[in-house]
Amino acid sequence: MDLDAGQLPDLAALRDRFRPEAASIPRVAVKLAPLDVYDELACVSVMSGRSNLGEAA
């Protein structure tokens, strides 16, 4: 050991020893929806935000 011999450790050797392993980046395929689908969503009616929970009795 360098420390036992009274020497400082070699920084380049330490970087090589403890460097994270190179990881490959996964390939991601994104499929976009056709824009006319959003037109169909705009035609959907919105339900009232009111709840029937208070009217149970």
pLDDT value of position 7: 87
In this predicted structure, what is the pLDDT of residue 29?
A: 94
Report whether 8 contacts 2 (CB < 8 A): yes
Q: In this predicted structure, what is the pLDDT of residue 1?
A: 61
Three-class DSSP category at 13: helix
Q: Do the Cβ atoms of 10 and 2 come closer than 8 Å?
A: yes
The string of pLDDT tens digits covering residues 45-55 is: 666 666 566 55
pLDDT tens digits for range 6-54: 888 899 999 999 998 888 888 999 999 888 888 877 777 666 666 566 5
